[in-house]
Amino acid sequence: MPRGVPNKGFRNTKNSSQNQMALVHTGPVFVETRETDEEINAKLIERFEVLDTMVRCCIEGQARSLIVSGPGGLGKSFNVESALSDWDPEEKKHVIIKGFMRATALYKTLYDNRHKDSVVVFDDADAILRDVDTLGILKAVCDTTERRRVHWGAETRMVSEKDGELLPTQFEFEGTIIFISNIDFDALIEKGHALAPHLEALVSRSHYIDLAMKSKRDYIIRIRQVVALGLLKHLPSSQVKEVVSFIETNADHMRELSLRMAIKVGALRSTSANWERIARITCCKGVK
């Protein structure tokens, strides 16, 4: 496995349909880094600033498609959702899709959000990235051609969720797509996976941001950054330092290095005198 590739990818299974690959979800494979903490901090600040800029470009219609790749639980979804909420608080012009979605549901969702100033976000909806039918639809709506036409050639007919009207067998999509994924597209393409040509086509049609978090130090520095921005603002500063110190000291044993874990440890620090003992049992593994 290439250095820095999360241990999460696609594989064939006997139970899969001809058009699908199954996703394997396991923990990340960390790599060593020679970067200093200062270099990592500057790198991550730059990457997340670029993310914020590109989300604004999507909202303003200057970018048709954006792919954001990075480990889970470290703020990529939060940044995207915060920008969209500020822009469209009543959620009339954007929709966020999480979880499983078939080609029929994808076609309907894109049709109902086909107009300019519409943004469709797929947040860890990995099913659409393992099916050649959904990938074909996505390539059409992310295309760089002047007119992005999507066709539905199956006998199955669908109705709009918004007005109940029968959907046409083709339509023009003028909105924007944002993919948020833990999958390292570059790594799967480099490995020559069976779906690599489809993923490469999506990357070719999109702006692609790799948030560059591959090592444990990357994760820890990112946690530090978000904590400094107020993640644990309900705690006194002395307790915040203790929480961050606990995570750093036990980084090799934490069940996960994430903002969620920082919140969990912070909750224990605020409620229990024996918080460290409890945190070692509930938030760590392999610790006696």
What residue segments make up the domains of the chain, in order of their start?
Answer: 8-210, 230-282
What pLDDT is stored for residue 251 in this prediction? 96
222-233 burial by CB neighbour count: b if 16+ within 10 A, else e?
bbbbbbeeebbe
Contact 138, 128 (CB under 8 A): yes
Domain range 8-210, its CATH number among 3.40.47.10, 3.30.1180.10, 1.10.150.120, 3.40.50.300 = 3.40.50.300
Contact 41, 213 (CB under 8 A): no
pLDDT tens for the chain, 288 residues: list them: 344 434 444 454 444 445 555 444 456 778 888 899 999 999 999 999 999 999 999 999 999 999 999 999 999 999 999 999 999 999 999 999 999 999 999 999 999 999 999 999 999 998 899 899 999 999 999 999 999 999 998 877 888 777 788 999 999 999 999 999 999 999 999 999 888 999 999 999 999 999 999 999 999 999 999 999 999 999 999 999 999 999 999 999 999 999 999 999 999 999 989 999 999 999 999 876
67-97 burial by CB neighbour count: b if 16+ within 10 A, else e?
bbbbbbbbbbbebbbebbeebbeeeebbbbb
What pLDDT is stored for residue 154 in this prediction? 84
Nearest CA to 114 out of 66, 144, 150 is that of 150
What pLDDT is stored for residue 209 in this prediction? 98
The SS3 call for residue 85 is: helix
CA atoms within 13 A on the CB side of 96: 17
The CA distance from 81 to 124, in Å, is 13
Q: Are strands 65-69 and 170-172 parallel, antiparallel or unpaired?
A: unpaired
Distances (CA, A) of 13 to 17, 22, 24, 209: 9, 6, 11, 30
The CA distance from 210 to 182, in Å, is 10
What pLDDT is stored for residue 24 in this prediction? 47
pTM for the complete prediction?
Answer: 0.87
